A and B are shown apart, each in its own frame.
Chain A
């Protein structure tokens, strides 16, 4: 029986609830209803007190989690969509994220953020905002791209003492399948070489890892190009060493992200590799992001707003031909 990415998230929460009495889940419609994406389906039946419905109050949801964490609990907050976390932004970046530095008392909260675009979801149910949480000091920002990572990184995140922003990609929820949750045991903080290559490195994370792999397959078939794909897994901490080692092998770098283009994770990668690995580069490093507009509703517009295998191939050809 194969398991999906959303199964992984649900089952990781099940395991966390079962193994650690300090864990509880809190979010809108997550109780009897099981959550907008069914990530908590059936969990309230088993743990009536520790799977709690919240009012539509993202600020108070995070504030509540902060308080519970100060008291020694391990809250997992579900934002119904990452987009709505903007309402809880202040509690995350100014309260949770500063608390350990200011007081010496850690705030072990995990905030689950259903992220990224899906066809027809429009401007307010599609955002990828990992950059915002990575910018402020004090959060660990996870961006799993595989079923196994979705499972193990959520569990590892919940066990951490620092605030964790867990960005789960909605497009992967149901189509990304695996035989089981067995993984390669990589800890948070280490990137993975998803596909080995020698002509260029594509650095990606979350759903863009899969788009990058598709692009690599196209170029392999078209011209025998061997593209290396690095899955960052977490954008904070960001495993510069693994990216640097890959660029040392390939001499070419393309950073791909689904977020808006101004600043962000891809800019950070290009900046770090350019500053510290300039001598390794045979071509100017490139970035490919979503467009600098709100995320459009219509599937035709949406598909062109974010990087696709085709647009990644286009960028890679430019990079390879430099």
Chain B
């Protein structure tokens, strides 16, 4: 395990680092449970995990305040959701199809959200979240309620190839809106490697083209992630316009739990980006004296209970009833035709 000695000079606060790491622990344990439930046939549909990307995701989510800021997560952002403040029950209810979940069984897994509380419910079409975030912030600007709120979204390397991502980032840049766009460059978009995804040396080089500051970070380096996301979020909050963060790392699993990721070369798994940010973070936290083995064990034990409670609760709840379903996409029920 390599721990970067340069960290001592950096100004990562203990409190923030603990908040981030705690969220990572809870998310990793929750996602491990989802994986087990999927393999046991208890979850219908896909299960998409953030394993290996928790440091990137949680350090972004921990910089956002529920009720004030906006977060548009993508498929590998359980840790960011947890750090932002999403109730674990929202996750278990959605994955397990409880009618009491925020999506009521109408959408599943990572597509959940509470848009009016600032947690957007992603659609599967990549890059679409950037302009939506921009519109939310623009609305606040028009009403004079923007204050110091920011919007943040995570995407992967693959999303940067979409027109929607380009249009969205260009838009928020033109309007200088307080947005943080995090690109988790995890080397693969599903099974497609980066050399078939983009031709530039580094995705962060694109920031200049959009006229926004670009931040690079090793996505496996826990403390570096905490520091970079904090700096990027604060810059956006100060009114310095959109910030683009590119975090390099490796997805520690398949695209979803249906995929063994066997196409990922062993050489890459053994590289720096193949490190597990949970392990890196643990070593960093313990070395700094910001966390003890005993505390970590307690966090893990507590998280297991929390996860089990959330799963058990959701499992006891009713599934949606097709006979009680409205079967209309319109809020104006009188326009229902079928």
Contacts and interface: CB of A to CB of B under 8 A. Distances in A.
Q: Please determine whether chains A and B interact with each other in the same assembly.
A: yes
B167 A67 contact: no
A21 B334 CA distance: 27
A100 B167 contact: no
Interface in A157-206: 160-162, 189
B332 A68 contact: no
Interface string B158-196: 000001100110110010000000000000000000000
A68 B168 contact: no
Nearest to A234: B335
Given A59-B163, A97-B329, A105-B116, A140 B142 contact: no
Contacts of A69: 135
B331 A161 contact: yes
A72 B139 contact: yes
A189 B335 contact: yes
Given A55-B167, A57-B167, A137 B329 contact: yes
B172 to A, nearest CB: 9
B108 to A, nearest CB: 10
Interface residues of A, number: 50
B337 A67 contact: no
Contacts of B335: 140, 162, 189, 237
A63 B164 contact: yes
A321 interface: no
Contacts of A87: 163
Interface in A290-316: none
Contacts of B211: none
Contacts of B167: 55, 57-60, 63
Nearest to B72: A67
Nearest to B171: A60
Contacts of B170: 55, 57, 60
Contact of A140 (B113, B128, B174, B330): B330
B134 interface: yes
A140 B302 CA distance: 49
Contact of A73 (B134, B139, B174): B139
A91 B163 CA distance: 12
A106 interface: yes
A19 interface: no
B107 A102 contact: yes
B328 to A, nearest CB: 7
B142 A67 contact: no
B174 A55 contact: yes
Nearest to A53: B174
> Which 3 A/B pairs are nearest by Cβ-Cβ distance?
A67-B135, A63-B131, A138-B329
Interface of A: 21, 24, 49-50, 54-55, 57-73, 75, 87, 90-91, 94-95, 97-106, 137-138, 140, 160-162, 189, 236-238, 240
Given A60-B168, A103-B102, 13 more contacts: A24-B142, A60-B131, A60-B134, A61-B131, A63-B167, A67-B131, A67-B134, A67-B136, A68-B135, A73-B143, A94-B128, A160-B332, A162-B331
19 contacts: A24-B142, A55-B170, A55-B174, A58-B167, A59-B164, A63-B130, A63-B131, A63-B171, A65-B135, A66-B131, A67-B132, A70-B120, A90-B164, A94-B124, A100-B331, A102-B107, A106-B331, A137-B328, A160-B332
Interface of B: 102-104, 106-107, 111, 113-116, 120-121, 123-125, 128-140, 142-143, 163-164, 167-168, 170-171, 174, 328-332, 334-335, 337
